Structure 1
Amino acid sequence: MDGIHIAIAILLLYWIVVIILDRKGILEKYNISTYGPVLMIRTTKGLKLLDKLAIPKKAWRIYADIGIRLMFVGMIAMLFVVILSDLAMIASYEANTMPEPSKFNEARNIFLIPGVNEFIPLTWGAIALLVTLVVHEFSHAILCRVEDIRVKSMGILLAVVPIGGFAEPDDEELFGKREEELNDENDPYGDRRLGIIIDKKSEEKTIVKTDEKVATRTQRARILAAGVMANFVVAFLAFALLFGPVLGSLAPLGDTMVVGVSEDGPAYSAGIREDMIITQLDDTSINNVNEMLDYLDGLEAGTSVTVYASTDREISSYQLEVTDTDIDPEGVLIQSIVENTPAEAAGIEAGTHILYLDGNPIYTYTDFSEVLSESTPGQEISAVVENDEGETTEYMVTLAEHPDYEGRGFLGVTTTSGGNVATSLGFSVGEYPAAEYLELLKGIPGMLGGVAGWYIILVLPISGFAGEGFPGFSETLSQFYVPVGWAEPFGIGIFWLANTLLWVGWLNFYVGLFNCLPAVPLDGGHVFRDSINAFIYKVTGNEEKAENVSALITATFAMMILLSFIFMVIGPYLVYGF
């Protein structure tokens, strides 16, 4: 039985125990309620702390007022994203280019639940979710006390382990039994508490005064926006630390990683293992695969080489001999063929590998680029291409002129590294652009002046810069970097800190934006409904009409948003089948 099955078994056993205790009334006795397998454990302890935290009322109101404005900005942004996504799906459907079903539109990946959403790692995701829920709920609670709304209890959410915290305001004071309102100079309903009484015989509705405490529209908006504001503030702080001092304390060791070594070969016997980072050969620093291959090309078989390699940021030396100077090239992978180009005319296909170009072996993309950079328009060259079955075909291609570089030949393919590269030391290496990628990450804050930067932040852990995603520093990825400066004493802990900040920042940002959507029961939905209600009342002067129309508009938006999310999930299945 693997870890997943054990976890499911523990969860089911826990859920059975919860059901039994709930039915016997034991949980209710201790003021505990259940929502499926989740326990809400309430307490009134700590309520006095809320009152103390709420003392600087003016500062908290300014904080919440900023939150209201950010909520409307987020509301517009999220509506734009939803509408744009729907239009893109419809356009792709009409053009018969609908993407096939994938993990990006699986239903489970819509929910931001660690362990359910496959993009969110369990450990870092659980920490981030806990922080997200706690700051969101307790920000609501503090603003409740600022606006003199009663908080009935606080507590934790438990599902085998704690998964969040909550604060429970008095809903009747916050929303009113019939959406009652207070009048003040900022509220269109005046300075009275209003209620609706229905005469059962005449069915006439009369607005009367009531002495029950009900939050004004402005107070309610502040309370609801406080949770979103808290998420945005935490996201800002987490990202500021991540993209600033934390990433700034990392330095790349090199780009060349050992990806394959035969267990019965001399390299393995000497101590070379997979995931090692090659930093130096003899007295020559190695920054990438090409530098390693260039150095080895100048050595004869039997030459002794001292290999310096890093494991967990500890560099050791290994003595090896050059055993084979005739290494077959792995080539570069052809990702796509540009239309109306020499490659298309010659019959070269996407998904194959170019092993030789004009007689030159192609080990890496650099080799491929160097051959073409020295070519000229009209030059005829040979291209030896290998397909997935290992069959090779030689094509004779007459190059066109490069569209961007005058006087340079143009083949018409987009390529990427073919993968592993065999070396004459008895092991294979791969290349990861560690330094370039680190600079890209550190440069994200500078991109936030445009839409592209915000989009990258929104999809960073899922699709990243080019579809690969950046879920944090995995054990393998962290091998490429070493902490320096203030972070050096932390060792591997700096990568744990980076992962925590990444997921705390991203989850708070995403949850904050999601809660801005104008759909009840989300915070943005309540604020949107109140705003529409106030606008219609100001225009018509009719409380009942304002209430009914605002409820209808909000319900319509909620339904449209729900259907949009459903369409994003099932759209590809409508074309390709379930």
Structure 2
Amino acid sequence: MNTLVWVLVGVFAYSFVAFFLKSRGILPSSVRVQGPLTTLHTKRGRDFLNWLAGPKRFWRAWSNIGVGITLVVMIGTFALLLFQGLSILQNPPAPTQVNQPRNFLVIPGVNDFLPLSVAPEIVFGLLVGLVVHEGGHGLLCRVEGIDIESMGLVFLTVIPVGAFVEPDEESQRAADRGGRTRMFAAGVTNNFAVTVVAFALLFGPVIGAVGVAPGMAVQGTFDGSPASAAGIGSGDRILSVAGENVSTEGELDAVLSATDDRTVEARVDRGGGPTTVSVDRQLVVVGSVGGNPANLTVSNDDDPITVSAVNGTQVFTRAGFQAAAGDSTMARLSTSRGVVTIPIGAYITQVAPDGPLAEAGAPTNGTLIVTGFDGERVTSSTDLNTLLDGTDPGQEVEVRARVDGNEEVYAVTLGENPRDGNGFLGVNIFPGTSGLVLTDFGARSYPAGTYLSLLGGEGGASPVNVVDSPLGLVYVALILPLASVILGIPNFPGFTPTVTNFYVVQGPLSALGDGVFVLANLLFWTAWINLQLGLFNCIPGYPLDGGRILRTGTEAVVSRLPVESPHALVRTVTTSIGLVMLASLVLLIFGPTLLN
């Protein structure tokens, strides 16, 4: 059974036991149970809130700032949810991993983007968020003279999912409208304040104390690959191969391409110091595109596909593959699934209809494999990309290609690549050779330096250019758990034990050792959770804080209008907006699944 099923079984079992204890009168009066929800009530802490509420002028000024921020965010969330709801209703997007209903739950192990390894940090951030949120409500209750019936925590089974402050209803109604508004906005204000403080500490001294360790960080290895057979795996760092130091996947490929040795020595650090392993190289197909001329499909359920010979010559490496293929555009491959004869070149998955290659007469559909470019032989996507990097916009080149089995030649005037300003062919290129991704090593790199750069540290190139501003850093930190969808790199759950070997602690905080990673994780997830709590509670719908502020604001406006039934009008406005928000949320969560 999957994780979600186990969670549901656990929730049902807890509900049954809780109902049994409640029916027998075993639970104390401070504990109340309703299904899987349990609330713990207490009157303790009211004296502390009375003391803390002493500087009333300061707290009112603080909450007035929060009211302004909350109103701006309320309007933004209303507009965003309304726009998203209408967009989904008019043009339902296809269900993807991102819009699966379970991924709207902040539950590690259930949410695909929140692994169980970060559960302690998320729970910590959630507890901090709940305490400061409800503590803000309780504090402003005392500042505004509103009595408190009780305070406590809300648990979904044994997981804290909320906190509450129960103001005295009569006392709350007696308070002025401005006081109630400040009280409702206090929780959101505190969540945003915690977010700012946590991000400031994270982006400042903590990330400044983290550097990238030498070597190529290994995210993982392909099943059946030589690296996997040699014991290299996730969390390792490859320091050198064949006597040459490497720090990136590109450097590793360059070293491997420069030698045709069947066996190479690799120095690997698994966290306990360097060790040397021998890697027996073998050509393995680790990826494929549908419709490739070899008609090979890579599947996790099947045995690895190996390539043992090209044109009758035994090969073990990509360098040997290219040498055996020679200048001929066709080659005979001996694979573990049989012998095939295919064109050797860069496989084009899409030709842009208005791109330079299409304008030169190339078809926009069918199988197209580029075998030559500007007089140079092309055997792989790497060859074609390297040649394109050396061209300029407007340059005229000759492109040779196999199109549905026929040899074609096109005279192409290159356009301008918007990414780097080089020549542009107007095509999408599948990595590898002829629609097959071949490797003679099989280690995949982890972008350790990229993550550090995205968090404001010194780690190398960044895929986005917004990290130079504080707001840009916050935006990047928020999307890192979904990096595979938005940035095209693996999701970043934090400095978990599987990746700490890729980093070193330096500077004044080096005395903390690995404690820096623990601190970074706590700050990252505390900021992330508190921002989510603040934004969610700003939605203008009851019983969220945004809905309560909407009511007090509507009352303030309606009180100045010449209407006979102001309470009815207030109820109509707030209920209508609340229902619109509810419908928008339902469409956002369930729309892609239900409407397709």
Which bin holds the TM-score, normalised by the shorter protein?
0.7 to 0.9
Over 3 Å counting, the alpha-carbon distance change for 1:66 and 1:8 in structure 2 is same
1:23 paired with 2:23, answer yes
> How far apart are 1:500 and its partner, in Å?
2.7
2:190 corresponds to which of 203, 221, 230: 230
Unaligned runs of 5+ in 2: 283-315, 323-343, 457-464
Tell me, yes or no, if the aligned pair for 2:500 and 2:517 is still in contact at 8 Å. Answer: yes
Tell me, yes or no, if the aligned pair for 2:264 and 2:278 is still in contact at 8 Å. Answer: yes
2:128 alignment partner, SS class: helix
Tell me, yes or no, if the aligned pair for 1:334 and 1:350 is still in contact at 8 Å. Answer: no
1:402 paired with 2:415, answer yes
What is the percentage of aligned positions where both structures have the same residue?
31
Quick one: which amino acid aligns to residue 378 of structure 1? Answer: E
Tell me, yes or no, if the aligned pair for 2:355 and 2:425 is still in contact at 8 Å. Answer: yes
2:65 corresponds to = 66
Cα distance between partner residues in 2 of 1:270 and 1:138: 55
1:191 corresponds to = none
Tell me, yes or no, if the aligned pair for 1:313 and 1:481 is still in contact at 8 Å. Answer: no
Superposed CA deviations along residues 321-355 of structure 1, whole A, max 9, x for unmatched, are 88845355898786654222355453466999879
Tell me, yes or no, if the aligned pair for 2:260 and 2:320 is still in contact at 8 Å. Answer: no
1:309 alignment partner, SS class: strand
TM-score w.r.t. length of structure 1: 0.77
1:556 corresponds to = 576
Over 3 Å counting, the alpha-carbon distance change for 1:407 and 1:273 in structure 2 is closer
1:201 corresponds to = none
Which stretch of structure 1 is more off in the superposition, 148-157 or 464-473?
464-473
1:154 paired with 2:151, answer yes
Tell me, yes or no, if the aligned pair for 1:282 and 1:305 is still in contact at 8 Å. Answer: yes
Counting only pairs closer than 5 Å after superposition, residues 162-177 of structure 1 correspond to structure 2 as 162-164=159-161, 166-173=163-170, 175-176=172-173
1:260 corresponds to which of 210, 216, 221: 221
Over 3 Å counting, the alpha-carbon distance change for 1:327 and 1:483 in structure 2 is farther
Over 3 Å counting, the alpha-carbon distance change for 1:226 and 1:510 in structure 2 is same
Superposed CA deviations along residues 479-533 of structure 1, whole A, max 9, x for unmatched, are 5433333454555544443333222212211221121122121111111211121
Quick one: which amino acid aligns to residue 413 of structure 1? Answer: V
1:84 paired with 2:105, answer no
1:100 paired with 2:74, answer no
2:353 corresponds to which of 339, 344, 352: 339
Over 3 Å counting, the alpha-carbon distance change for 1:520 and 1:408 in structure 2 is closer
2:12 corresponds to = 12
> How far apart are 1:150 and its partner, in Å?
1.5
2:268 corresponds to = 309
1:466 corresponds to which of 462, 487, 496: 487
Quick one: which amino acid aligns to residue 100 of structure 1? Answer: A
RMSD over aligned CA atoms reads 3.9
Cα distance between partner residues in 2 of 1:157 and 1:510: 18
Tell me, yes or no, if the aligned pair for 1:114 and 1:126 is still in contact at 8 Å. Answer: no
Quick one: which amino acid aligns to residue 555 of structure 1? Answer: T
TM-score w.r.t. length of structure 2: 0.74
Quick one: which amino acid aligns to residue 461 of structure 1? Answer: P
1:276 corresponds to = 236
> How far apart are 1:281 and its partner, in Å?
3.6
Unaligned runs of 5+ in 1: 177-213, 386-390
> How far apart are 1:375 and its partner, in Å?
4.8
Superposed CA deviations along residues 195-215 of structure 1, whole A, max 9, x for unmatched, are xxxxxxxxxxxxxxxxxxx21
Superposed CA deviations along residues 179-236 of structure 1, whole A, max 9, x for unmatched, are xxxxxxxxxxxxxxxxxxxxxxxxxxxxxxxxxxx21111111111110011101111
Over 3 Å counting, the alpha-carbon distance change for 1:115 and 1:264 in structure 2 is closer
1:136 paired with 2:125, answer no
Superposed CA deviations along residues 148-169 of structure 1, whole A, max 9, x for unmatched, are 2112222333344351563433
1:413 paired with 2:427, answer yes
2:587 corresponds to = 567
Tell me, yes or no, if the aligned pair for 1:259 and 1:430 is still in contact at 8 Å. Answer: yes
Counting only pairs closer than 5 Å after superposition, residues 146-225 of structure 1 correspond to structure 2 as 146-164=143-161, 166-173=163-170, 175-176=172-173, 214-225=174-185
Cα distance between partner residues in 1 of 2:19 and 2:347: 56
Over 3 Å counting, the alpha-carbon distance change for 1:139 and 1:296 in structure 2 is same
1:528 alignment partner, SS class: helix
2:104 corresponds to which of 93, 102, 110: 110
1:382 corresponds to which of 372, 386, 400: 400
Cα distance between partner residues in 2 of 1:129 and 1:350: 52
Over 3 Å counting, the alpha-carbon distance change for 1:500 and 1:394 in structure 2 is farther
Cα distance between partner residues in 2 of 1:328 and 1:52: 78
Quick one: which amino acid aligns to residue 267 of structure 2? Answer: Y
Tell me, yes or no, if the aligned pair for 1:517 and 1:525 is still in contact at 8 Å. Answer: yes
Tell me, yes or no, if the aligned pair for 2:31 and 2:41 is still in contact at 8 Å. Answer: yes
1:26 alignment partner, SS class: coil
Over 3 Å counting, the alpha-carbon distance change for 1:67 and 1:408 in structure 2 is closer
Cα distance between partner residues in 2 of 1:69 and 1:139: 16
1:86 alignment partner, SS class: helix
1:362 corresponds to = 380
